[in-house]
Amino acid sequence: MAIMNKMRENTHVILFILLVLFVLSMTIGGLVGGADITSILSGHKPDMVLSVNDEDISYDQYSNIRQQQFENFRQQKQKEPAGYELQQLEDQIFESVVRDVLIKQLIDKMGIAVSRNEIKFHIFENPPEFLRSNPNFADSTGKFDIQKYQAALSDNRNNNYWLMVENYLAGSLPFEKIHQEVLSSVFVTDQEVREDFIKRNQKAKVKYLFFDPNSYKIEDAEITEKEIENYYKKNKEEYHEGEKRKIQYLLFELKPSESDTNEIKEFAFSLLDSIKQGVNFGDLAKNYSDDGGSAVNGGDLGFFEKGMMVKPFEEASFTAKKGDVVGPVLTQHGFHIIKIEDKKVEDGKEKVKARHILLNIKPSRNTIETVRDDANYFAEVAAEEGFSQAVINEHLAPDTTIFFSRSGFLPGLGMQKRISDAVFNAKVGKASRVYYIEDRGYLIYEVTEIQKEGTKPLAEVEAMIKNTIRREKQIELAGADCRKFREKITSPESFETLAAQDSLKIEETDFFAMSGFIRGVGKDTKFIGTAFGLSQDEISGPVKGTRGYYLIKLVEKQEINESLFDLQKNALKIDLLDNKRQTAYSNWYNDLKEKAEIIDNRYKFF
């Protein structure tokens, strides 16, 4: 009975885990929130966030998924997604929805179904991993206990739980069938295993001569206009660029007001008073300091010398005496309260040991609301009168960007993918809605110019082409000298003799593997491949590597350890098979996605 009671006690946790596992597929299938999207026959609804092959995902459906994934993030990380993590999470949500819709469409097209007996088999005979790893079904060592599991199956009080498991399997097993179908033709041969072992374990040592292109000087006069023009004509595709746009924008910045600053300063003085009255400094630091790194240690900064802290902090610390508590000290980080715990001179340098409480100066809720209201007001005016006229009426000075491409980067604003997407879907002269940029403020923009895609003019890329031609000529000269030298070599011994006569320096490597890195050469596949193809004392022909030309002489190539291979080959085969399966599935899915028609309207809603 204990296991049953524990399961009922943990029902909310178990149900949440199951919800996380299949909320995405249920939402896409129309089971959670909104109408069944498979019933949409043609056209796109106004609230469409995403469309995959004319199958629309509405705002409500996408928002349900998004909110669930954001909640998962908060529970796992114990914080709000922000910055790069926020963008990464948004992209992961988008990709997961696209993937599930595409595969669900394929399942429907192929008529893949799951029978009642299949579901029962997986529940009774082949429990999925989330059940096998459930601590309620574990023995004292943490391993899956089949008897506990079967007891839970036979208890009628758990019927609702097992119904949810059945629903999850009904949705997930068709995806698993597709997955197995894709991977059914993937296998690894014994020869592939042996080759992989050799690549990882066999090592070689070589001597080599390097003919460095950088040692050949090519003057500008040696590069003709005709050469530049011919190169430009033959390689125009290299200088093709996509559409670019220019915007003017207003950023209503989130800056702390004078009142915000004074409020933080007053709070700093109140903490200082508490310390003087005997409240423990370390406890206050743990509870109030915005310096997370030191707060967990009661604000302890350890010993530091001059030059390690910002100037106002340093001056206050080195001026104060041991035992003093000073502050508030204002720096670019905020207000500091500093406690001097010790002082010493070490190696002729004065050092201070201190604790501190940092209070960042942030805009208050009232300030944020005021800035947001100002941005919303301007957006309303701009929508009615136009961005440029609204700027004049409100006596504001917008910033203007240079032309930029659809890379997600906005000049002056940094990486802002969702805003960049919106810019490249906007009309010229139409004011945007308000966009929040984390920790910076609220943005309204207007597209002012569009530069159509095309080839960059020769004048713009001439200097780049000249450098490319110069490099090609340098490589040609290095190759010519390499070939001349190789023609003079008549025996393995003459390699060193001739190099000495020509004052050329022969380098010798350490032992390196096929998959390894060579000091002085790098991970040059042509160099490494040539080296392992040589016999003892054999000298290669000219090798054009990534940095220049080489002549390579094999010094030694180790034989593989057959006993070690016998020990590792089974594990290697498993690793290779896993890698090949991942690659095969990734290639299959990327091809499926490439052929799909996907419309991304997230910029309109989020």
Question: Structural domain boundaries of the chain?
Answer: 2-183+598-604, 203-239+459-557, 243-252+366-452, 258-359
DSSP state of 549: E
CATH T-level fold of 243-252+366-452: Chitinase A; domain 3 (3.10.50)
Q: Which residues contact 216 (CB under 8 A, 6 or more apart)?
A: 473, 474, 477, 478
- Taking only the tens place, the pLDDT of each residue in 161-173 is 999 999 999 989 9
**pLDDT at residue 526, as a whole number:** 96
CA distance 77 to 122: 32
**pLDDT at residue 43, as a whole number:** 63
CA distance 123 to 167: 11
- Where residue 75 falls (left for φ over 0; alpha for ψ -120 to 50; beta otherwise) is alpha
Helix 458-488 / helix 225-234 crossing angle, nearest 10 deg: 100
CA distance 277 to 61: 56
CA distance 250 to 442: 8
Q: Which residues contact 271 (CB under 8 A, 6 or more apart)?
A: 284, 288, 337, 357, 359
Which CA distances in Å does 369 have to 80, 139, 359, 365? 20, 55, 22, 6
Q: Which of 281, 603, 227 is nearest to 445 (CA)?
A: 603
**The domains spanning 203-239+459-557 and 243-252+366-452 adopt the same CATH topology:** yes
Q: 246, 447 in Cβ contact below 8 A?
A: yes
Whether cis (ω within 30° of 0) applies to the bond prior to 328 is yes
DSSP state of 558: P
DSSP per residue over 273-296, as a string?
Answer: HHHHTT--HHHHHHHH-S-HHHHT
Q: Using 50 as the pLDDT threshold, list the residues of the chain that sit under it.
A: 1-9, 11-42
CATH T-level fold of 258-359: Chitinase A; domain 3 (3.10.50)
CA distance 58 to 216: 62
Which CATH entry fits the domain spanning 203-239+459-557: 3.10.50, 3.30.70, 2.30.30, 1.10.10? 3.10.50
User: Torsion angle, CA of 571/574/578/583, rounded to 10 degrees?
Assistant: 90
* Rg of the chain in Å (alpha carbons): 34
Residue with tokens 């020869």: 191
